[in-house]
């Protein structure tokens, strides 16, 4: 395979034309399958060196593409240009466009660039949907992410697409989950319909904010640099700890400590230290209180299970609605307050989950006519 010289030259002259060209090449049935297309739109945001040597760049690209093509032909016979070859081309281009020092690639930068390519974080607008994880930037723009529920968003790699001092908000929509690896090694697991505000870099302090939803955090230990989490009504100070935060509106807000040490403070300056197996809640008088917690129930969602104990039907259907993407109408207000105890797995289909509820209760759960999004709950 030989890439025409004029193609690389045109890239440097007008990246938007190149993006259009590649999207045309990859259009049709292969377009939605390529793992590398999302990064193409972001190339224009990377800083290109003004004195880029087209001849040298072309030779590097050609060598990389030829090597990748030879490897691929050993595994399968290809007639047309493979998507993997295009990925190699885009990957090398991305590295060549990254800042260089003294004409040599900075190893850390090239390594991160290739990792970004493999992860394919950025989803082009043409393929974006309302079920994508989204990064809301400080200027209000949105970056749609191509990330599965089992994948991890690594913020250290996103630094090449965001400003170093920029704070962003990760939005996890209904039916989805999100996994984030922060720069210091802290892991944040986000449940459906959650918002996490965080800096691109933690060099100015380990501080994030859970604005809504639910998260389990496993914080990297650093006694000299406490990790702080801001909540709407509380603030947490962490010293190497695993804990769960639930801020769903239909449930009582709780901060549950799984292991380690956790100091919880409210906006009035009151604070308490949680021990493993305890959770912080608001007392009836608004004070900050701790109480024993059922860790299995609080953290079961991480394993894909919804465990509920004496929970109202209204709350159960709201929770399931975040998993499966539906709204609920009840035929009577009294029905909402009925309480149930049980467990459902996220791997169940929506219809199967409904059938389990109907089988074990006196409920009838049906779709509104011509409205898959809306379900009706009634007595049988």
Same domain, 314 and 294: no
Which comes out higher in pLDDT, residue 375 or 150?
375
pLDDT band at 70 (very low <50, low <70, confident <90, very high): low
The CA distance from 269 to 233, in Å, is: 11
Same domain, 276 and 161: yes
Q: Among the three residues 282, 298, 314, which one is the final residue of a domain in this structure? A: 298
Look at residue 56 in the predicted model and tell me its pLDDT. Answer: 46
Helix then strand count (H, E) for the chain reads 11, 24
* Phi–psi pair at 17, nearest 5 degrees: -65, -40
Residue 164 CB coordination number (10 Å): 10
Angle at 147 between CA 351 and CA 236, to 5 degrees: 95
Give me the sign of the Cα torsion angle 355, 359, 360, 362.
Answer: positive
Mean pLDDT of 37-41: 40
Range of the domain at 353: 304-379
Look at residue 138 in the predicted model and tell me its pLDDT. Answer: 86
Q: Over pLDDT 90: what percentage of the chain?
A: 45
Same domain, 292 and 311: no
Nearest to 44 by CA among 126, 164, 161, 200: 161
CATH number for the domain harbouring residue 294: 2.60.120.1440
Look at residue 122 in the predicted model and tell me its pLDDT. Answer: 62
Q: Considering its fold, how many domains does the chain have in total? A: 3
Which comes out higher in pLDDT, residue 46 or 207?
207
Same domain, 244 and 320: no
Same domain, 147 and 237: yes
Same domain, 102 and 248: no
Same domain, 163 and 293: yes
Q: Are strands 227-230 and 207-212 parallel, antiparallel or unpaired?
A: parallel
Same domain, 133 and 275: yes
Q: Are 248 and 236 in contact (CB under 8 A)?
A: no
Q: Among the three residues 298, 320, 345, which one is the final residue of a domain in this structure? A: 298
Look at residue 3 in the predicted model and tell me its pLDDT. Answer: 38
Q: Among the three residues 239, 269, 298, which one is the final residue of a domain in this structure? A: 298
Look at residue 26 in the predicted model and tell me its pLDDT. Answer: 41
pLDDT one-digit tens code per residue, 209-249: 999 999 999 999 988 889 999 999 999 999 889 999 999 99
Same domain, 192 and 217: yes
Instruction: Provide CB contacts within 8 A for 260, sequence distance 6+.
Output: 219, 238, 239, 240, 241, 242, 243, 276
Q: Are 365 and 380 in contact (CB under 8 A)?
A: no
Same domain, 111 and 162: no
CA 211 to chain centre: 15
Same domain, 41 and 73: yes
Q: Are 206 and 184 in contact (CB under 8 A)?
A: yes
Q: Are 194 and 133 in contact (CB under 8 A)?
A: no
pLDDT band at 8 (very low <50, low <70, confident <90, very high): very low
Say which residue the tokens 């702080």 belong to.
228
Average pLDDT, rounded, for the chain: 75
pTM of the model: 0.68
- What does the DSSP 8-state code read for residue 126? G
Same domain, 25 and 106: yes
């Amino acid at each position: 395979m030989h890439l025409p010289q004029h193609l690389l030259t045109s890239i440097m002259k007008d990246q938007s034309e190149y993006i259009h060209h590649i999207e045309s090449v990859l259009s049709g049935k292969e377009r939605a399958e390529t793992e590398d297309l999302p990064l193409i739109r972001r190339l224009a945001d990377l800083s290109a060196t003004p004195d880029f040597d087209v001849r040298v760049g072309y030779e590097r690209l050609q060598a990389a593409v030829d090597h990748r093509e030879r490897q691929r032909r050993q595994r399968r016979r290809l007639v047309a240009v493979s998507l993997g070859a295009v990925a190699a081309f885009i990957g090398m281009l991305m590295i060549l466009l990254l800042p260089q020092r003294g004409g040599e690639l900075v190893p850390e930068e090239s390594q991160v660039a290739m990792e970004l390519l493999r992860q394919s974080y950025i989803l082009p607008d043409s393929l974006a949907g309302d079920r994508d994880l989204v990064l809301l930037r400080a200027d209000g723009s949105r970056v749609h992410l191509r990330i599965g529920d089992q994948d991890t968003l690594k913020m250290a790699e996103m630094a090449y697409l965001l400003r170093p001092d920029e704070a962003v908000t990760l939005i996890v929509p209904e039916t989805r989950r999100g996994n984030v690896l922060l720069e210091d090694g802290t892991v944040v697991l986000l449940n459906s319909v959650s918002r996490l505000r965080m800096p691109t870099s933690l060099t100015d302090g380990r501080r994030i904010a859970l604005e809504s939803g639910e998260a389990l955090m496993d914080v990297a230990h650093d006694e000299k640099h406490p990790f702080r989490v801001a909540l709407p009504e509380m603030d947490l100070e962490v010293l190497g700890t695993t804990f769960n935060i639930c801020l769903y509106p239909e449930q009582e807000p709780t901060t549950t400590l799984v292991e380690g040490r956790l100091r919880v403070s409210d906006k009035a300056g009151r604070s308490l230290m949680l021990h493993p197996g305890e959770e912080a809640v608001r007392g009836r008088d608004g004070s900050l209180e701790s109480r024993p917690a059922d860790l299995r129930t609080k953290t079961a969602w991480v394993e894909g299970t919804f465990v509920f104990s004496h929970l109202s039907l209204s709350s159960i259907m709201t929770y399931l609605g975040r998993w499966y993407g539906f709204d609920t109408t009840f035929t009577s207000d009294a029905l909402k307050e009925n309480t149930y105890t049980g467990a459902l797995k996220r791997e169940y289909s929506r219809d199967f989950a409904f059938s389990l509820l109907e089988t074990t209760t006196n409920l009838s759960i049906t779709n509104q006519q011509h409205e898959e999004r809306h379900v009706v709950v009634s007595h049988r």
